Structure 1
């Protein structure tokens, strides 16, 4: 006879992935308990750029991107940096990242990402409707900018792949470029506008609104640090640092950058690395931003939120314990002022967060090696908000035994 458990589904991590998973599981009739060491949406989900990047189907590792890496690494404040002392630790991840850029892997990754993004758009719309969050979603599009004809031409293969995936866009120049975003520097010769791009008014408020809906529907929340998730008779046991042990029927590990050691204790050595992203949030009147701006050559974006104008991005592969290097945020803000000459750079607040990144840009979604009662949902990189509702739907299907709407093989936690 199976042991009685105190919880149904325990979700480790109350960021946007964990919250969206909880919401979808409740739709499927399951009871949920969320656990997080810092509170609801208090890590990366609190201060990201707020983009719903459903058009972002290209993996980070492509031939064009890999060719830029050596030049970027020479700039300590550039789009990509790795502290010198961290190279030995990250070298195996870099090898996998390099292999993910081979043509066969890139094509497979694009197919998988496109399928997930199609599901993400549909499932996010369902979540927004179910939680009454329509007022928190903006549909102002995005504009990727190019400083030279060479940069524009280099981007065209990626746009052709998006076109094949049914993603609408418009290449723009001159007066059309100025119409979409007045006040741009004259250095930009062209842009690509994605009209279907959406963003949320504020990522923290959006996540908190989902959390409020989950809690109002009977969900539980425990603020605690999880040390281990393990199989047990009739379900799972979750060990907390304060000595408590919670029992449940199922567990979902959605702890973002902190998921790696929990998976390792279950026998899954997943090459999860930490992208340390920086941003500065300026007052709302810092600039008249009309659309979400993407500066691909420089690795950062500028977004308009209810809390202000956010300038952020770039990648620092440096783990979880190194002190923040806010000079990176300063460098992005300086570039932003060059790109938007009217930008007011005073009065900003800086932030650094951890993006959980896998070498092939695809998340880990699936059962653990140790037990089918323990499921992984992490590794979304900079696409966590975008893919949160789709991930929740897929986790719900795995737990309830329903047929997932997409092939989950490319997202298998054991694919490495």
Structure 2
């Protein structure tokens, strides 16, 4: 857990308790809670602007959810989840406990308000606004990442092989066309392929896949954990600091913020950025903001590189997972389990994904894999929260990126820097407002 070491129940008790001592005097300039890729990029862009930045995280830099994602810079992935066929497929998927989407029955009552918001987010009237917000964010994200990769010397970690999305039937292919038409409106390039064209892009595919869509502009990275740590090394060389500590409580007023660490000590900061991923809403609640964040628990298995010669990221959208060739192995993962942050992992899900991958890539060697689970912080409209807390201008939120944390991290860092420095934002921040709920 990035910055906080208590359960939700403990958090609620802390939030309801008496205020903790508020020391005044010299403190930190900017504190970031969360050492994942969002916090890393925010730190890098802020130290480039000459600010003093300290990250607090209970585990380390890029050690939790940001370390095990699918490694994609998914700049063309502009469709919110509620508009990607998930609502239509929800009943079918939910009857399969190991399918693309699962909800533990005991968790359903707690999840129901979030599901209602998710269903409403799919309304046609909200489609254009959500699409435009994501498209603008993705354009900024690509520009900011390319610049940051160059400045940090990490450009060699970038892979520009494109992606291949695969379809098992004409009906599945036709259902995808409206989404591709929407992407085309925003200048996203792609081409549909079949037959030899499909085989050339990925030899050895199962014949069950009759068509595919190749996106040449899709990018991946050699390994997300290695990239995050390398960008942090760049920030650290320019003065950013890391403190290994959990944060139990936060408080703020117009003059700054106070953090109570797990060991009982307190720290002061002129500015506080909450980028603690799936735990961020618990901290926001202590500051008076109730943000409907839910946790998508994602699973993967990373196999040895020799498991199969995968040429580029393969996307099996009908099954909710991807296969990514990394510098450190072959990663098979994805799917969504809406189960919160307290339940133990269900690694039967990662095993089910691996079994599907064996069918889709005949000859895949499933041995020697490392299983993993991470917590994707997701909001019902698939748009992150980026903006100031309602009752305290020194506090800025940067969380809720869902599947797109790595993709949008550099853009989020740019926007956070603009907010802290009082500059005009690079994109309209209204769709990302913490107060939109």
TM-score normalized by structure 1?
Answer: 0.98
Structure 1 Cα separation of the partners of residues 381 and 167 of structure 2: 25
Structure 1 Cα separation of the partners of residues 138 and 83 of structure 2: 19
Structure 2 Cα separation of the partners of residues 391 and 280 of structure 1: 28
Which of 45, 50, 53 is the matching residue for 1:32?
53
CA apart distance, 1:241: 1.2
User: Which residue number corresponds to residue 124 of structure 1?
Assistant: 145
Is residue 166–residue 213 contact of structure 2 (8 Å, CA) maintained in 1? yes
User: Which residue number corresponds to residue 390 of structure 1?
Assistant: 411
Root mean square deviation, CA, Å: 1.1
User: Which residue number corresponds to residue 358 of structure 1?
Assistant: 379
- Whether 1:43 and 2:37 are equivalent positions in the alignment is no
Structure 2 Cα separation of the partners of residues 21 and 274 of structure 1: 22
- Three-state SS of the structure 2 residue aligned to 1:90 is helix
CA apart distance, 1:149: 0.3
User: Which residue number corresponds to residue 193 of structure 1?
Assistant: 214
- Three-state SS of the structure 2 residue aligned to 1:338 is helix
Is residue 61–residue 106 contact of structure 1 (8 Å, CA) maintained in 2? no
Structure 2 Cα separation of the partners of residues 233 and 112 of structure 1: 30
Which of 274, 277, 281 is the matching residue for 1:260?
281
User: Which residue number corresponds to residue 185 of structure 2?
Assistant: 164
CA apart distance, 1:63: 7.0
Which of 205, 211, 222 is the matching residue for 1:184?
205
Is residue 5–residue 235 contact of structure 1 (8 Å, CA) maintained in 2? no
Structure 2 Cα separation of the partners of residues 191 and 168 of structure 1: 14
Show the 5 A alignment for 1:261-276.
261-276=282-297
CA apart distance, 1:126: 1.0
CA apart distance, 1:5: 3.0
Is residue 5–residue 249 contact of structure 1 (8 Å, CA) maintained in 2? no
User: Structure 1 stretches of 5 or more lacking a match?
Assistant: none
Which of 301, 313, 316 is the matching residue for 1:292?
313
- Whether 1:379 and 2:384 are equivalent positions in the alignment is no
TM-score normalized by structure 2?
Answer: 0.94
CA apart distance, 1:233: 6.5
Which of 316, 324, 330 is the matching residue for 2:351?
330
Which of 97, 106, 114 is the matching residue for 2:127?
106
Structure 2 Cα separation of the partners of residues 203 and 239 of structure 1: 30
- Three-state SS of the structure 1 residue aligned to 2:301 is strand
Structure 1 Cα separation of the partners of residues 119 and 388 of structure 2: 26
User: Which residue number corresponds to residue 340 of structure 2?
Assistant: 319
Structure 1 Cα separation of the partners of residues 294 and 86 of structure 2: 18
User: Which residue number corresponds to residue 103 of structure 2?
Assistant: 82
- Whether 1:346 and 2:367 are equivalent positions in the alignment is yes
User: Which residue number corresponds to residue 226 of structure 2?
Assistant: 205
User: Structure 2 stretches of 5 or more lacking a match?
Assistant: 1-22
Mark the CA change 1:232 to 1:267 in structure 2 (over 3 Å): closer, same or farther: closer
- Whether 1:301 and 2:353 are equivalent positions in the alignment is no
CA apart distance, 1:217: 1.0
Structure 1 Cα separation of the partners of residues 373 and 115 of structure 2: 22
